[in-house]
Structure 1
Amino acid sequence: MDGEIDHVCEEPLVTSIRARVQLSRAAVERLATEAGIGEFADEFFSALCDFDFVNGRVYEVIRSQREEYERRKPDEQYAEFYENGDDGGWDWEHLVPRKRGNKSGHDTLLELFDLLRVRWNALPKRDGKRRRKWTPEFDDSTGDPINATAHFFLGVAGLFASYSKTHCKSVVERASRRTHSPESKAKRAERNRRHQAEHRARKKAERHR
């Protein structure tokens, strides 16, 4: 998506999203230690560095405000490509389909949730015992995180944007509802396989350094 959306979104949008990202090794180490997985902080930090949050969030914003962006005139540097009236070959329906349902579904945060879930559930046993699965829980009345994975999710989300506990709780609920859809299960399985393949490739590369 990088490069494809550059001419339909203004630079301030990209800049503002990128400026908010506060991802650092020290921050991830602190959150991982608080969650009881401090020895795997580097692994999570590496995965989070590879997470393309900025472009994902830019795409999410443009998709939710598509009508507004469609009405904008292209910058002068792209004007010649729009002279024939076909949006310079830009296919809105294919590349930026209209968002259906709740426009504040926080798709990029859901992707982050999935990344953390795959990494967390792939952690090795501790003292021969299985670790608790990735099951973030938030209090129904206050929205406060009430278990280790919820605190970790909220903390990591805050390194990327001003996500609140309400946003994270909403995404957890959305992920829970999604598990009932056969289509979603297939997509999630494919995404999990991709993340796991990337994880194995990274670990293999590290062993051969």
Structure 2
Amino acid sequence: MEAIIRACADEGWAAQVAAVIANRPDAAGLAFAASHGIATAVVDHRQFPDRDSFDAALAQEIDSFAPDLVVLAGFMRVLTAGFVDHYAGRMLNVHPSLLPSFPGLKTHQQALDAGVRLHGASVHFVTSQLDHGPIVAQAAVPVEAGDTPATLAERVLATEHIIYPRAVRWFVEGRLALDGLRVTLTPPEPQWLFAGHTAGEGA
């Protein structure tokens, strides 16, 4: 989230972050957003009897800011199908794996257990199927000898901070088109990174 806020300001996007909304009052992103003059709100899931009522309240809070795009960053709750459908085609998430491999939690341990040579991150449109939406951008890092979930997570997170702001900017610029599960970027440019280098830059 912080990387997106910084990129929006530093790169002069023709957009602004309307608000940062959290489901926990102690979420670190709230203080960061407030320090940058961005509106904040909390919709605490513990105050609701079920997922449907929480998601309805969350959607109401989001819609009060009339956003063109909803960006999930560090939001660890599974959203209901009705909520996802409400924001179909305009809600992005970043997931710490090269989807469709390793959806869900503990992705870095999953990668180590599977013995893969590459791991990474994916930015995707959110659908009702968890971590299976159309992929916008991906970044890969090598899995090195002696890696632990923590060391792997650190390298993957660094790539998330590159590809997530980039994907949001593409949406802001009207360059993304959805066709089923395929995302087209116009005009085209590399939509993946390897070890911190953009595809085609000699990595």
Q: TM-score range by the shorter chain?
A: under 0.3
More strand by share: 2
Q: Which has the larger radius of gyration?
A: 1
TM-score (structure 2 length as normaliser)? 0.25
TM-score (structure 1 length as normaliser)? 0.25
